[in-house]
Structure 1
Amino acid sequence: MSYAMVMGEALIDLLEVDDQTYRQAIGGAPLNVAVGVARLGGEVRYAGSLGTDVLGDRIAAFLREAGVGDQGVRRVPAPTTLAVTTFDGAEPTFTFYGEPPSYALLGPGDLDPAEVAGATVLYTGSISLLREPFAGAARQAWATAGPLRVFDPNVRPTLLPDQATVHALRELAEEFFATADLVKLSSADAITLYGEQDPAAAAAHIRGLGAATVVVTCGARGAHVATDGGAVMIPAPAVNAIDATGAGDSVMAALISRLLAGGRPADPAGWTDHVRFALSVAGLVCERQGGATAMPTPGELAVRWPALS
C-alpha cells in the first residue's frame, strides 16, 4: 500500500472575521497537508499530539471523518493550542497561545518504526520542529531509510522574536534540507531565513545544501521550481482570492498526492506538471474560507478547472 506519513502540528485557528469576531477552524499546516492529501484521494496517516480537551476531541473526529489514518496520534493532557489569525488582505498572520504547545508533545518513543519505514512519502516541518520532544521524533523518522523525504519550514515570524531564533531555525531547517527529496517553502520563508528576495537564489542555495528539488511559492505570481535539470517559474492561475490560509499547505498536499500516484518525476517536465496541478489546487483553496475544510476533492477541481480533467 502506498501512503504518506505526515508529522507535525494540529491546532485550532481563530480566523478574524471583524474587529470583534473570530471564526473557529481546525488547522495547523501539517494537519492541512494530511487532509489535503486525503481529499485528493491519497492514503495518508498523521502522526502528532492532540490535547485531551474538547477541542482535541474535535480535531481527532475531524481527522477520522476526513479519512486520515490516526494510528500515530498521541493524546496529551494539555489545552489545545490556539492560533489567532489576522489578515492583511487575503494573507494571514498567526499568533499562538498555549504552553506547553499541545502540538509538539509527540516523542521518538511514540513512533511506530515499521509504519514510518513503510511510507512512500514522509512529510515533516513547520512550527512543531521548534520544540522538543517533537523535534527528536522528526529527526528519528527522517533518518529512516525508504520514504521520499518532503520538508516545509513553514516559517512563522511571530515565533522568531530576534536574530538568534532566526539563526537557530535556519540551522534546523538546513539539517532537513540537506537530505530532502523535495523542499517546499514560500518566498516569505526565504526572506525570513535568508533575507533573500529572489526565489531563484533561495532555491539554488537550498539545492546547494543537498535538496533534490525545491519549490518556492510566490503567491499570485506562481512558483519557482528548481531541479537537477534546471529551473523555471510557473505562473499561478488567476483567481478571486478571499483567504490564503492553507494555500501553501494545499500545494504541498497536491505534490504529495502526485508523488504517491506516480513516484518522483524522472525529468523537469514531470515536476512542472506536478507544480501546475498544485497551483490549481491552491487557487481553488484561496477562493474559499481557509483552513483544512478548504482542501478540495478531485471532483471540485474538475468543476473549477475543467482542463485538469
Structure 2
Amino acid sequence: MGYAVVLGEALIDLLEAGLGGELIYRQAIGGAPLNVAVGVARLGGRVEYAGTLGTDVLGDRLAAFLGAAGVGAKGVRRVDVPTTLAVTTFEGAEPAFTFYGEPPSYALLRPADLDRETLSGARVLYTGSICLLREPFRATAREAWAGFRGLRVFDPNVRPKLLPDTAALAALRELVEEFFATADLVKLSAADAQLLYGDSDPAAAAERIRALGAGAVVVTCGARGAHVATPDGAVLLPAPPVAAIDATGAGDSVMGALVSRLLAEGLPADLAGWQRHVRYALAVAGLVCERQGGAVAMPTPEEVTARWGEI
C-alpha cells in the first residue's frame, strides 16, 4: 500500500459556541494538513506528518493527538514559539478563521529539516494551505515537491483574512498555480475557486487548473457535491443528504479520503475510477459534517460503512 507524507500546518482551533447564554470558545486540534493526515490514518492509511509544533503545552497536545491518531512523526520538528491559534466563527455550519501568533508556529520548517529518507520512500506527497504563505515553509514545500517522484496532491485552502489586498491575492494565485502545474490531484473548494479566479463556475475553474498541467481536479461545492475534471471528461457528483451541524474539516476529510484511496489503489485510469474515489470521499465528508468538526470528526472505514454501506 505504501504511505503518504503530509507537509503543512498544525495549530489549535478555538471554535465559537454558545453555553448557557454565554459565548465561549471550544479548543480543538486543527490545521488543514493535520486534518488530512488524521483523516488518512483513521481510514486505515499509513501517513507521516511533516511540520513544526511549538514547545508549549498546546504543542504537546498536538503531538500527543497525532500519535494517538496513528500518524507518524518522523517529519515533526519542535520550535520554541507559542502555538498558533485559529479563532473560528460560524455562519450556519460554515466556519470562518482568524489567526493569532507571530511568528506562526506552523510555518518554521526549513529545507534542512526535511526527512529525505521518509520522503523518498513515500507513495503520495500532500502539501498546501496557509503554511505556504510564509517562509521558510514555502521554500521547504517547493524543495520537497520538486524532488518527489510519487503522486503529488495539492489543496490551496485559501483563507481570505490572510490576504490583505489584491497584490497578496495575485501573489497567492501565482504561487498555487506553480503547484497546480505538476500536481496529480488538486482539490479545492468552490469558495477557493471563486477567490482565485473570480468565477462562480467550478467547472471553469477546474478546466483552468487542468490546463496548467494538473492531472485531475476536484472542486468541492458543499451540499451540492463535487465537480470532478479528468483528462477524459468531467462530471458533477451529488453529495449524500446529511443533517450538517459543523462543516469544519469537511474539505480536509475529502482530501484525506482521496489520499487513502490513492494509497490503496493507485491513480485511477479514467473518469469512472475518479468518480468512485470521489463518491467515497463525499460520503466521508458527509459523516464529518454530522459531527462536531475538525480532526476529531474524522471517521474510520467501519463508521463510513455503517452510515452509508459499501462504497
What band does the TM-score fall into relative to the shorter chain?
over 0.9
Structure-1 residue corresponding to 2:4:
4
Tell me how large the CA RMSD over aligned residues is: 0.8
Secondary structure of 1:243's partner?
coil
Structure 2 residue 20 is matched with structure 1 residue 17: no
CA distance in 1, matches of 2:78, 2:148: 27
Tell me the CA shift for residue 117 of structure 1: 1.6
Structure-2 residue corresponding to 1:93:
96
Structure 2 residue 174 is matched with structure 1 residue 174: no
CA distance in 2, matches of 1:127, 1:58: 21
Structure 2 residue 230 is matched with structure 1 residue 227: yes
Percent of aligned pairs sharing the same letter: 75
Structure 2 residue 294 is matched with structure 1 residue 291: yes
* Structure 1: gaps spanning 5 or more residues: none
Partner of residue 256 from structure 2, selected from 240, 253, 257: 253
Structure-2 residue corresponding to 1:60:
63
CA distance in 2, matches of 1:129, 1:194: 19
Structure-2 residue corresponding to 1:195:
198
Instruction: List 4+ stretches of structure 1 deviating above 2 A.
Output: none
Equivalent positions of 1:36-47 (< 5 A) are 36-47=39-50
**Counterpart of 2:119 in structure 1: which amino acid?**
V
Partner of residue 86 from structure 2, selected from 80, 83, 103: 83
Listed one character per residue, the Cα deviations across residues 119-168 of structure 1 (whole Å, up to 9, x for unaligned) are 10000000000000000110011011421000000000010111011001
Structure 2 residue 142 is matched with structure 1 residue 123: no
Listed one character per residue, the Cα deviations across residues 14-66 of structure 1 (whole Å, up to 9, x for unaligned) are 00103620110001000000000000000000000000000000000000000
Listed one character per residue, the Cα deviations across residues 178-207 of structure 1 (whole Å, up to 9, x for unaligned) are 000000000000011110100000000000
* Structure 2: gaps spanning 5 or more residues: none
TM-score, structure 2 length as denominator? Answer: 0.98
CA distance in 2, matches of 1:117, 1:200: 34
Tell me the CA shift for residue 288 of structure 1: 0.3
CA distance in 2, matches of 1:138, 1:197: 29
**Counterpart of 2:300 in structure 1: which amino acid?**
T
Secondary structure of 1:202's partner?
helix
Secondary structure of 2:147's partner?
coil
Partner of residue 30 from structure 2, selected from 27, 42, 46: 27
